[in-house]
Structure 1
Amino acid sequence: MSNERAPGEIGRTSAAALSPADADHAGDSPDRRGWRANPAVVERCKRRRPGPVYEEDQVPSYELPDPLRGSDGSVVDSPQAWRRRRQEILDLFRTHVYGHRPPGDDPRTRRRFDVVEEDPSAMDGAATLRRVVVRSERADNERPTRTHQFEVTVFLPNAAADPVPVFLLLNIAGPENTDPTRERTSSIWPAEEAVARGYGIAALQVRDLAPDDPARFREGIIQLVEGDLDERPPDAWKALAAWGWGASRAMDYFETDPRVDHTKVAVLGHSRGGKAALWAGAEDERFALVISNESGCGGAALSRRRFGETVAAINRRFPHWFCDNFRRYDDAEHALPVDQHMLIALIAPRAVYVASADEDLWADPRGEFLSLAHASSVYGLWGHSTIGPDDMPPLDTPLRVGPRGYHIRSGDHSLTEVDWNHYMDFADTLWR
C-alpha cells in the first residue's frame, strides 16, 4: 500500500464513494477542502521543538504494509480468511511494538471483584455510584503469593430500565479528574453529561496498573506476574500493555454487572492513554467501540510519516511504554513489519473513533486520519464504504462512515467535552 498523496499535496474531502446511509458529514459547506495545518501553528511548533517534520512537503516517501496480504503472499478476501491474518498481525505488534501481555484467564491467578462503595443516590439521585476493587492474587511453587489491586469507578444512570452502554476511560491525568464524590468535576471525564444522556461512565487510573515511570513501571501488575525477574526478553510487556490489560479486567467486571450492557462497552484514552486504549481494543474483542483521542506516535499516527514525534523520539523519552524490540526501529520506521493502520484494522469490524486536535502537530493529525483511512480495505470485507486518504474532514466537522468516526477539533492537546460529545453522538448512531 503506497503513500497515495504526494508530499505537499492538499487532501480534499470527498464523500462520493459513500452512500447516504453509510456517511454523515456534519456541517457541510461549499468549501469541501479537508483540514490543513494553520501556518502560524506550524511556525510555533518549529520554534518550540525545532528539528521534527511539521510540514507535508517534508514527509518522506513511504510504502505501507498491506493488511490484507499474509506473510505467505496470500490475499485475504473474506471475513473468515481475515481471522488468520488478524492473528498474524496481532503477533507482529506483540513482538515488535507493545510486547506480550499475559492472558486474563491464567489459572495461576485468582481474581475477585469487591464493591467497596455503592451509593444509589449519587448525583442528586440521577445515578448509582459503584467503586469496584479488582483484586488479583498469584501463587506458584517458585515464589511466595503476591497480590495486586486497582479500582474502577462506575456511575450508572438510575433512569435506565435496561442495561446501559458504558464508556471506560483509561485515565492518565490523576484521580482528582475522576472524583467519585463529584466535589471536583473535569472535562476529562464528564460523568454528569454521560449519565444525562443515558450512558454509564467508568474510569481506572493507569498508574495503579503500571507507574508511568521508567524506573518503576514494573511495580504494579507486571511484578505480580513476573516477580523479581532479572532479565526480561525484548518482547516483554511494559506500561502501555499493562494499562490495556487493566481495561480487560474492568471488562471482566462489566460482564458480571446486570446493569451494564457488556456488549456495548467503549474503551477510551487520551494521549498515551489513547495508545493503550487502541492496544486494549486490538487485544480484547469484547470492546464494541475503541476511541483514540490524540494518541499520536505509537497510537493512531502512521509511524512511517515521521511527522512530529517519531519512533526514536518516543523511545528516548518514554522507554517504559513499548517493548525493547521497538527500539530497533528508531530512525528505521520503514523496516517495521507493521504500521498503525494495521492496529486500527485489528479492531474491525467493531467500531473505532479517532480524534485529533488542530494545534497538536506533535501527534500528527493527518497521520492519525490516514491510519483510519488505510484500514478501509479490512472494513471493506464487511461491506463498509471506503474512507479515502483525501477524505480528511475540515476542522470541527465530524466524519462518520459506518462503524468508523473521526474529527479534528480546534485547540491543543487535551480531552474536552467537545470530544466527549462527538463520541457520545457517535455511540448514539451505533446503539440507539
Structure 2
Amino acid sequence: MKKTLLVLLMASTAAMAQNKPPVNFTADQDHKNMMDQLGIKALRPGPSGNESAPNHANYDVDKANPYPNLPDLLTLKNGKKVTTADQWWHQRRPEVKEDLEREVYGRLPKNIPAVTWSVALTDNEVFNRVPVIAKQIVGHVDNSSYPAISVDIKATVVLPTNVKGPVPVLIMFSQSRLPAPSSPTAAENEQINAALKKLLTNIDPNLQAVWNAHPAYLPFAAPAGGGFFGAGRPVVQKPTPDVPGVIGENNDPPSAEQLIAAGWGYVALDLGSIQADNGAGLTRGIIGLVNKGQPRKPDDWGSLRAWAWGAARVLDYLEQNEPTVDAKHVGVEGVSRYGKAALVSLAFEDRFAMALVGSSGEGGAKLNRRNWGEAVESLTGGEYYWMAGNFMKYGASDATFGPKTANDIPVDSHDLIALCAPRLAFISYGVPEKGDAKWLDHQGSYMAAVAAGVVYKLLGAKDLGVSNDYNKEMMPPVNTPMLNGELAWRQHDQGHQDQANMKWFIKWVDEKIAYKPTPIAGAGPGRGR
C-alpha cells in the first residue's frame, strides 16, 4: 500500500512539474536569483570600453599581468607531473575538463531530450558560379516531458555538387539562409506572369485596360543575380596584401564563397534557435526545456555550452544523413561571442576535427587572468548567461565565501585550448585600427595559445613553433602566418571578422588532412582559388 502511494505521489509531482508554466524572469531578475543562490551580496563592476570613462579598461602594459602565473597544464592536482600522453588523457585532461565545466561553462545535463531532424526544403542552386545543393533542416527537440517549451534547431546545409565527395564541412555560426535560392527560368517566369495577369483580371476586369496600355509590363520581373553571402560575385578576387604591418582593403570574398570555391561544404547554424543570446531566455530554449522552465543551478550550462551542444547535434545529422560529407573532418567557426562558442565546441566535442576561432576575447581565447580590456567582471555582469552560474563567484566583492578574483579560477583559457589538442585549432584576430577592438586582448589570447602548446607537443602534435614561455613571447607582426602546427595563429589586417583568414584556414586544413577536391566532369567550376 505504501509503495503504491509513493508511486502515485511521484507521478503526481512529475505531472505538476510538467504543467507548471516557465518562470518569466527578466535578465536582471535571473542574475539576482543566481547571486542569491551563490550567496553573493555584491559584484565588482566590469570595466568600461570608453577610454575616457572613470572605470575605463586597462591598456597599460605594466598593469596587464597582475597574476602572471597560469595553472600548470602538466601538473596533476596531487602535485605529480604529467610526462606521458596516457597521463594526459586519463588523469590530467579529466581534471581540466571537470574544472572548466563546474566553474566556467557549466555541465551538460544528463537528461537532454533527443533531437529528430527533418529536411524542410531542398534547393539546387548556383552559388558564385558553383553548383550546390542546399537544404534547410530543422532539428526538433523532444519536448514531451515539458510541452510548454519548444526548441527547433534551424540550419542550412550547403554542399558543392561539382566535386566528388566526401568533402570537409565547416559549421558556421550565422543566420540560417539559402545562399542563392534558385529562380524560375525566363519561360517559367512568362507562365507565372500570364497566370497572374489572368487571375488579377478575373478579380478586377478593369485591369484589362491596364494590360492593353502597357503590354510589356510584367508583375514579376525576371530575377537578377544576387542572393545571400554575395552570390553572383566573380570567382577571381583581388587578394588582400600579406605584407606584415600593412593595412589592406577588405577584398576577401565572404567565407561561405571561399569554402564552396575550395570544394568544401558548410552549414549555417542559427544559434538563437538553440538558446537565446540573453539572460531572460535562460528559462526557455534548450536550457529552459531541460529545466522545465525553472532557473538554473550554479553548475548548469550557459549559452556558450548550449550552442556547442547544438553544433554537435548538427554533426549528428551530417554523420547520419549526408554521405557526401566527410564526417571525420567537420569543424566549427564563429566570430566574437560565436568565436567563444566555436572554441568551446571544439574543446568539449571530440568529434569535431577543427575550428576557426575568430576574435573570441574574454570567455574564449583571452586569458581571464590578464588585466587588459574585457575582464572576468564583464562576464559576471551583463553577459553572465554565457557562462555557468558558478563563474559569477570570481567577480564577487562581497559574498558569504569572501571576495574572489580571476586568480582564484582553477583554470584559464589555455586549459580550454589544450582540451582541443591534438586537433586543429586556428586562433584568429584582426587589428584595432580596423575595428577588432583592443578590448579583445590580442596579446592575452596569443599568450594562451603559447601556453597550451605544451599539451600539443606532449601528444605528438606541433604547436605555434615558439617557446611555451607565455610571459615572454610576443605576438608576431600582423599578417604573419603561424600555420606549421596543429595549433595555429594569424592576426590579419582587417577588423572584427575572420573571412580575411578563411583562405589561410582552408589551405592549412587541406594540407593537414591531405584534402584535394576531385572535380566532377561537366559539373561546373571547381576550386576558385
Check the 8 A contact 2:299/2:388 in 1, yes or no.
Answer: yes
1:313, CA displacement in angstroms?
2.0
Q: Distance in 1 between matches of 2:253 and 2:149?
A: 33
Q: Distance in 2 between matches of 1:302 and 1:204?
A: 27
Partner of 2:401: none
Check the 8 A contact 1:295/1:363 in 2, yes or no.
Answer: yes
Question: 1:154-303 maps to which residues of 2 (within 5 A)?
Answer: 154-171=157-174, 174-175=175-176, 179=179, 181=181, 183-185=227-229, 190-229=255-294, 231-256=295-320, 257-303=322-368
Residue 131 of structure 1, aligned match among 136, 158, 164: 136
Partner of 1:358: 431
Q: 1:110 to 1:175 in 2, by over 3 A?
A: closer
1:387, CA displacement in angstroms?
3.3
1:353, CA displacement in angstroms?
0.7
Check the 8 A contact 2:100/2:411 in 1, yes or no.
Answer: yes
Q: Distance in 2 between matches of 1:75 and 1:154?
A: 45
Q: Distance in 1 between matches of 2:366 and 2:148?
A: 41
1:395, CA displacement in angstroms?
0.5
1:87, CA displacement in angstroms?
1.4
- Are residues 1:408 and 2:491 paired? yes
Q: Distance in 1 between matches of 2:285 and 2:314?
A: 16
Q: Distance in 2 between matches of 1:188 and 1:342?
A: 33
Partner of 1:368: 445
Q: 1:110 to 1:328 in 2, by over 3 A?
A: closer
SS in 1 for 2:259: helix
1:145, CA displacement in angstroms?
8.0
Partner of 1:64: 70
Post-superposition CA distance 1:103-124 (Å, at most 9, x none): 5xx5x72322111111234425
- Are residues 1:100 and 2:107 paired? yes
Q: Distance in 1 between matches of 2:443 and 2:54?
A: 19
- Are residues 1:85 and 2:125 paired? no
Partner of 1:22: none
Tell me which protein shows more strand as a share of its residues: 1
Partner of 1:114: 118
Supply the RMSD in Å over aligned alpha carbons: 2.3
Q: Residue type of the partner of 1:286?
A: R
1:232, CA displacement in angstroms?
2.6
**Unmatched 5+ stretches in structure 2:** 1-48, 182-225, 231-251, 396-403, 516-529
Query: Identity, % of aligned pairs?
Result: 30
- Are residues 1:149 and 2:152 paired? yes
1:146, CA displacement in angstroms?
5.5
- Are residues 1:338 and 2:338 paired? no
Q: 1:277 to 1:236 in 2, by over 3 A?
A: same
Q: Residue type of the partner of 2:385?
A: H
Post-superposition CA distance 1:179-223 (Å, at most 9, x none): 563623268953222111111011111111111122124321112
SS in 2 for 1:317: coil
Number of aligned pairs?
379
SS in 1 for 2:357: strand
**Unmatched 5+ stretches in structure 1:** 1-43
SS in 1 for 2:362: coil
TM-score by length of 1: 0.82
SS in 2 for 1:371: helix
| More divergent stretch after superposition (334-343 vs 156-165) | 156-165
Check the 8 A contact 1:137/1:146 in 2, yes or no.
Answer: no
Question: 1:6-17 maps to which residues of 2 (within 5 A)?
Answer: none
1:274, CA displacement in angstroms?
1.0
Q: Residue type of the partner of 1:99?
A: G
1:308, CA displacement in angstroms?
0.6
